[in-house]
Amino acid sequence: MFTRILLLISILTSSSAFADTVRAVYKAPVGIASTKMKRMTFGLSAKQVAAIRDLTHGEIDMGNVFYQEIGDHEVNLLSSSSGFSGVIYPNVPPPALIEPKSISPEPWVGDPALKGQWWIDDLQVPAAWSLATGQGVVVADCDAGYYHDEPDLKDNMLMDHAYDLADKENPTVVNDGPYAFHGTAVAAIIAGVKNDLGTNGIAYNSKIVPLQNFNYDNKDDLDKEEATAACILRAVTVPSVNVIVLENQTGNGSSETFIGTRDAVRLAMKAGITVVGAGGNYSVELIEEKKDDTGSIIVGALARTGEPAYFTNYGERLTVGAFGEQLYTLYGPNGAFGEFGGTSGATPQVAAAVAMMKEVNPFLTPERMREILQATRTVTSVNARAGGQLNIPLALESALNSLPDTKEWAKQELFRQQLMAILRTN
């Protein structure tokens, strides 16, 4: 019946029991979806879906993704006979993170929490600051929440654009939910304020648009994957956004195992916005992402030794690796610091590097950004599994000396204006 069937897996955390009901996700030819299947809207009207389809000449159809409630045994049969790769469970895993571990604060001076950090030294961040600090660049982070009033964040958070994609009742509240520390840590690593207090980000002069894609509080109005795709579309509507960060994972890969997210990523890329996503922490190969490569930057995690972290997802689709353990940073609330990690911790390091590259060469396309990161990373037989190691100064030098593709850049700018016009009208 279906000419193209894709299924996403999102496994439960180890402490949860499997549910009796699951949701199979399909992308089917228009017009043949069963009445028992629910169409994912991604917050788009039928008019917007049609306009996006026309704008992309039929390449991207956000109105053609469905899910259907079915039982475990039926899914297992379908899985074995139809090439399905997994299931979505109603209960969903947290974002691609390693839980923070509280540490007793030391007496700090200046921006002390960053000074002497091993990962900052290994990434040669002080040398990179002689070239760029992220000035003029805006990063939209699709994450699990933020303690946005923290002094180390407040001045670099663009709260006028804050939005919760999965909470229709309180869409402008982004500091709720049990994982608000997560976005706080990510934002601090990217754009923590340099104010001689606490910590500062790698791209400390960049700004953050805090977008909460999922609250993980059993009150979310959208499924996690649908909300992540909707978050990307929301970010595109903010004219100043240059970079989108995806802090999400599924049980069998990054957020891009979901066709809806891949389509949204493609729209952002066509609009000239660089997308940087966490590779995920289940130690699985990124197969779906390799089969259907959107051109985004997907990040692997390295241990302090420079070896792949034991949990990191792996494979050729990883663009570059950064450090995913023992990252001492702000995670709040009330100024709390601790160790952060996972591919979630590695991803903001790369996103910060991208922001700095954008500062030194604003005309770089997302495609060129990825090429530069791949060309300048340090790859050895030890770290290749996690994507090699990010080299920020070398990436900045390459970006600074790279001739921009002004024709492609102009094409992407025009597409962005057209897409923004569609997304801003119902």
| Alpha-carbon span 2 to 87, nearest angstrom | 18
| Alpha-carbon span 250 to 155, nearest angstrom | 32
pLDDT tens figures, 330-369: 999 999 999 999 999 999 999 999 999 999 999 999 999 9
> Which value, in Å, is the radius of gyration of the alpha carbons in the chain?
20
Our count of domains for the chain comes to 2
Domain extent, residue 68, equals: 1-91
Smallest CA-to-CA distance from 260 within 237, 234, 232, 229 is with: 229
| Contact partners, residue 40, CB within 8 Å, separation at least 6 | 25, 65, 66, 67, 223, 226, 229, 260
Mean pLDDT for all residues in the chain: 85
Same domain flag for 359 and 286 = yes
| Model pLDDT, residue 386 | 96
Per-residue pLDDT band for 65 (boundaries 50, 70, 90) equals: confident
Express as a percent the part of the chain with pLDDT over 70. 81
Same domain flag for 284 and 398 = yes
Helix axes 342-360, 366-376, angle to 10 degrees: 110
Same domain flag for 125 and 237 = yes
| Contact partners, residue 33, CB within 8 Å, separation at least 6 | 26, 39, 66
Same domain flag for 312 and 209 = yes
pLDDT tens figures, 163-214: 999 999 999 999 999 999 999 999 999 999 999 989 999 999 999 999 999 9
pLDDT tens figures, 401-425: 998 888 999 999 999 999 999 999 8
| Model pLDDT, residue 26 | 54
DSSP for 86-135, please give it: --B-SS-PPPS-EEEEE-PPP---SSTTTTT-HHHHHTTHHHHTTT---T
A 10 A CB-CB count for 30 gives: 9
Q: Which helix (H) or strand (E) holds 208?
A: strand 207-212
Per-residue pLDDT band for 28 (boundaries 50, 70, 90) equals: low
- CATH of residue 322's domain is 3.40.50.200
For residues 311, 313, 318 and 323, what is the CA-based torsion angle, rounded to 10 degrees? -10
Q: Which residue has the tokens 């469970």?
A: 89
Helix axes 406-423, 46-55, angle to 10 degrees: 160
Same domain flag for 76 and 165 = no
| Model pLDDT, residue 316 | 96
| Mean pLDDT of all residues in 9-27 | 36
Same domain flag for 86 and 180 = no
Query: What pTM does this model have?
Result: 0.87
Same domain flag for 122 and 14 = no
| Mean pLDDT of all residues in 72-99 | 38
Domain closes at, from 33, 64, 91: 91
| Model pLDDT, residue 116 | 87
Domain closes at, from 91, 111, 134: 91
| Model pLDDT, residue 66 | 78
| Mean pLDDT of all residues in 141-160 | 97
| Mean pLDDT of all residues in 71-89 | 30
Over 50: is that where the pLDDT of 40 sits?
yes
CA separation (Å) from 136 to 59, 95, 204, 401? 32, 28, 11, 19
| Alpha-carbon span 134 to 396, nearest angstrom | 11
| Model pLDDT, residue 94 | 62
Tokens (6 digits) for 60: 């991207």
